[in-house]
Chains A and B, each alone.
Chain A
Amino acid sequence: MSLIAVRARKHRGLGLGLAAWLVGIAFFLPIAWMALTSFHSEADAATSPPSFAASLTLDGYREFFGTGGGASPWPALVNSAVASVASTVLVLLLALPAAYALSIRRVRKWTDVLFFFLSTKMLPVVAGLLPVYLFAKNTGTLDNIWLLVVLYTSMNLPIAVWMMQSFLAEVPVAVIEAAQIDGARLPTVLARVVAPIALPGIAATALICFIFSWNELLFARVLTGVVAETAPVFLTGFITSQGLFLAKVCAASLVISLPVLAAGFAAQDKLVQGLSLGAVK
C-alpha cells in the first residue's frame, strides 16, 4: 500500500470517528435537553425560541416530588420498586434451577424446552390481557401489586432462562467433574465452582429483568388503580398538557428513568446477550 493511500485512510479514519461522535451526540441530545429543561424554571422552559442559558433551579424536582401540592410520586415509585425487585428475585429463583437442568445436568430434549420458553416471549401481551383482567376482577386481586409481580415474572422468565443457560454452559464440565472426583457434594460444587464463573452473568440477567419490569405499562395501566399504581402509570398523568409543566415533566421522566439508566449501564456488556435472548454474544 502506498504512503499516500495510508495517509488518506488515516484522514478518513479521523473523519469517521468525528462522524461517530456527531451521531452519538445527536442521539443523546434529547436526553441532554430533557435534563437541562428539568433544571429550568417553568417560565424559562416554555419560552420560544428555547432558552439554552437560563438560570438553573430545582423547582421542577420540588414540584414533581409533590411539595407544590400535587400528588406525591413516592407511592408509585415504591410500587415500581417492589414489583421490579420482587419479580426479579422470583425470576432468579425459578430460572436458576431451570437453567441448571438445561445446561449442566441436561434433561433430554433440552433444546425443545428452551424453545418453548422462547416462544412464550413471542406471544403478545394483549393476547392474555382480558382473561388476566377478568381473573383479577373475580379474585379481588385488581389493584394489587403482587399480581403484577406474577405477571412480570412470566414476562421475564424466558429471557432469564435463556441468558442463564448460556452463562452456565460456559462453566467447563471438566472442572465440575474434577471437583466431584475430589469428593465435593453438589452444594459445594455449585457454590465453589459454578457460582464464581456464572455470577457476572446472573447479575446482568437480574438487571435486565429489573429494567423490563420497571418499564412495563400496559398490564400496570389495566390492572392497577390508586393503590398499586406504578411509576410509568404515574407518568401517564402527564399525557395531557397542564399549562406550564415542562420542567416538571422533564424532572419526572428523568427521575423515573434513572434506575433503568443505572441498571442498563451496569449491565452494558451483557445487554446485547440478554436482549437477543442469548442468541448473540
Chain B
Amino acid sequence: MTATTAPLTTAPERATRPPSARLRAWATRAPLMPALLFMIAVTQLPFVATLVISFFDWNALYPQARRFTGLDNYRQVLTDADLRHSVWTTVLLTATVVLASLVLGLVLALLLDRRFPGRGVVRTLLIAPFLVVPVAAALLWKHVLYNPEYGLFNGLLHYAGGPRPDWISGTPLLAVEASLVWQWTPFMMLILLAGLQSRDPEQIEAARVDGANDWQVFRHLTLPHLRRYLELGALLGSVHVVQNFDAVFTITSGGLGTANLPYTVYQSFYQAHENGLASAAGVLVVIGSIVIATFALRVVSSLFREEVSRA
C-alpha cells in the first residue's frame, strides 16, 4: 500500500492527426469498448426504463389498467404518510450510521496509527466485522446478540445485574443502526488509517520540535490533512448505507417504523405489485444518491488529481 507513486504514463498529446491517426485512435479505443458498452447496457438502460415506468399508473396484477399519469406517482409517494416516513427513516439511518462509524473509525485509526505489540493482529480483528456476509451479520445481531432471553447482550447485562431490555422491539431503528455501525466502522478505519499514514512525518516532527503538544498536532496538522479522507469515508459510506436492504430486511423486516426507501421500493413492487409507485420511489432514491454522489465524485476527483500531479 506504500510507495505506490510510481510515475504515471504521460501520454504525449498528439497535435497533428494524419488520416491514419483516426484508425489508430480507434485501435486505442477498442480495448475500452466492451466494458463501456456493457456498463451502458446493464446500468443505464434499466434506469431509463424506471424513469418511464414512474410516469405510469401500473399495478402488475391489473396490467390492462396501465395508463400514463404524469407526476401522479410522485405526488402519491410524497404525500403517502408511510412513504414519507420511509424517506425520513432513510435519512436518519444513513446519517446516524455514517457519523457514528466515522467517529469510531477515527478513534480506531488513531489507536492503530501507533506502534504497539500485536498491531497487525488487532488490525485483522477489527477488519473482521466488515468481512461477515451482511445477511449473516444481521442474523447474528438479531438472534444471537439481541435476543432478550438468551442473547449475549442481556446475558452480559445479567452478570452486571442490569435490566434485560427487548432491544429490537424497544429501539428498532437503533438496533438496525448498531449492527450497521459495527460493520461500517472497519471500512472508515481503513480509509482514515491510510490517510493518517500519508501524513508528512517531517512536518509533525518539526511541529513537535517547536513545542506543539499532541492535541495541537492533531487539531492543526492531522485533522486538516484528514479532512478529505473523512469526506471520502462519509460519502462512500453514505452511498452504500442509503441503499441498505439486508439489515432492514433481516432484523425488522421493515416493521416497527424501520422501512427505508430501498425496502419500500422492494415491497411496493415485489409484494404490492405497484410498478409505477415503486419506480417513482426508486427515482427519488436516485435523486438522493445523485446529491451525495456529486459531492463524492468531487472528493474522489480532487484526491485523484493530486495523485496524478504528484506522480
What does the 1/0 interface line of A40-77 toward B look like (CB < 8 Å)? 00000111111000000000000000000000000000
Decide: B243 and A124 in contact? CB cutoff 8 A.
yes
15 contacts between A and B (CB under 8 A): A27-B128, A31-B129, A48-B149, A48-B154, A98-B36, A111-B301, A113-B36, A124-B289, A127-B289, A150-B42, A169-B311, A173-B7, A222-B266, A272-B194, A277-B300
Q: Is A178 an interface residue (CB 8 A)?
A: no
How distant is B113 from chain A, measured CB to nearest CB, in Å?
Answer: 10
Q: Given the complex, which residues of B lie within 8 Å of A48, measured CB to CB?
A: 149-150, 154-155, 158
Q: Is B187 an interface residue (CB 8 A)?
A: yes
Which of B116, B137, B297 sits near A13, CB closer than 8 Å? B116
| Residues in B lying within 8 Å of A, measured CB to CB | 1, 4-11, 25, 28-32, 34-36, 38-39, 42-47, 49-50, 53, 107-108, 111-112, 114, 116-119, 121-137, 139-145, 147, 149-152, 154-155, 158-159, 182, 185-187, 190-191, 193-195, 198, 229, 232, 236, 239, 242-243, 245-246, 249-250, 253, 261-262, 265-266, 269-270, 275, 278-279, 281-283, 285-286, 289-290, 292-293, 296-297, 299-301, 303-304, 307, 311
Decide: A170 and B262 in contact? CB cutoff 8 A.
no
Q: Given the complex, which residues of B lie within 8 Å of A128, measured CB to CB?
A: 43, 46-47, 49-50
Q: Given the complex, which residues of B lie within 8 Å of A260, measured CB to CB?
A: 131-133
A21 to B46, CA, bound (A): 47
Query: Residue of B at shortest CB range from A104?
Result: B9
Contacts A218-B245, A279-B303; A124 near B116 (Cβ below 8 A): no
Contacts A97-B35, A130-B269; A25 near B125 (Cβ below 8 A): yes
Query: Residue of B at shortest CB range from A158?
Result: B39
What does the 1/0 interface line of A235-272 toward B look like (CB < 8 Å)? 11011010000100110111011001101110011111
Q: Given the complex, which residues of A lie within 8 Å of B140, measured CB to CB?
A: 30-31, 34, 249-250, 253
How distant is A105 from chain B, measured CB to nearest CB, in Å?
Answer: 6
Decide: A239 and B262 in contact? CB cutoff 8 A.
no
How distant is B249 from chain A, measured CB to nearest CB, in Å?
Answer: 7
A153 to B35, CA, bound (A): 10
Decide: A169 and B8 in contact? CB cutoff 8 A.
yes
Additional pairs, 20, CB under 8 Å, beyond known A30-B141, A30-B145, A128-B49 = A19-B111, A24-B122, A94-B35, A101-B28, A113-B32, A116-B39, A123-B289, A126-B243, A127-B47, A130-B282, A134-B275, A157-B38, A158-B39, A169-B6, A215-B135, A218-B246, A239-B139, A239-B253, A253-B139, A280-B194
Decide: B6 and A117 in contact? CB cutoff 8 A.
no
Query: Residue of A at shortest CB range from B60?
Result: A134
Decide: A20 and B112 in contact? CB cutoff 8 A.
yes
A250 to B132, CA, bound (A): 12
How distant is A267 from chain B, measured CB to nearest CB, in Å?
Answer: 10
Decide: A23 and B108 in contact? CB cutoff 8 A.
yes
Contacts A124-B243, A133-B269, A249-B139; A28 near B46 (Cβ below 8 A): no
Decide: A218 and B266 in contact? CB cutoff 8 A.
yes
Contacts A97-B35, A128-B50; A50 near B297 (Cβ below 8 A): no
Q: Is A7 an interface residue (CB 8 A)?
A: no
Query: Residue of B at shortest CB range from A167?
Result: B4
A129 to B29, CA, bound (A): 31
Q: Given the complex, which residues of B lie within 8 Å of A281, measured CB to CB?
A: 1, 4-5, 194, 198, 307
What does the 1/0 interface line of A119-146 toward B look like (CB < 8 Å)? 1111111111111111100000000000
Contacts A231-B133, A246-B143; A102 near B50 (Cβ below 8 A): no
Q: Given the complex, which residues of A lie within 8 Å of B304, measured CB to CB?
A: 111, 114, 278-279
Which of A17, A46, A170 sits near B116, CB closer than 8 Å? A17
Q: Is the interface of B mostly helix, strand, loop or mixed?
A: helix
A191 to B226, CA, bound (A): 39
Q: Which of A113, A173, A218 has the most CB of B within 10 A?
A: A218
Q: Given the complex, which residues of A lie within 8 Å of B34, measured CB to CB?
A: 94, 97-98
Decide: A129 and B282 in contact? CB cutoff 8 A.
yes
Q: Is the interface of A mostly helix, strand, loop or mixed?
A: helix
Q: Given the complex, which residues of A lie within 8 Å of B249, measured CB to CB?
A: 217, 221, 236, 239
How distant is A90 from chain B, measured CB to nearest CB, in Å?
Answer: 9
Query: Residue of B at shortest CB range from A241?
Result: B143
Decide: A107 and B32 in contact? CB cutoff 8 A.
yes
A16 to B119, CA, bound (A): 11
Decide: A49 and B158 in contact? CB cutoff 8 A.
yes
Decide: A97 and B32 in contact? CB cutoff 8 A.
yes
Decide: A169 and B131 in contact? CB cutoff 8 A.
no
Decide: B278 and A130 in contact? CB cutoff 8 A.
yes
A122 to B237, CA, bound (A): 11
A49 to B2, CA, bound (A): 47
Which of B38, B53, B187, B307 sits near A153, CB closer than 8 Å? B38
Which of A20, A45, A97, A238 sits near B139, CB closer than 8 Å? A238
Q: Given the complex, which residues of B lie within 8 Å of A46, measured CB to CB?
A: 149-150
Decide: B9 and A173 in contact? CB cutoff 8 A.
yes
Decide: B155 and A49 in contact? CB cutoff 8 A.
yes
Q: Which of B44, B121, B152, B261 has the most CB of A within 10 A?
A: B152
Query: Residue of A at shortest CB range from B251?
Result: A239
Contacts A122-B292, A236-B250, A273-B1; A130 near B126 (Cβ below 8 A): no
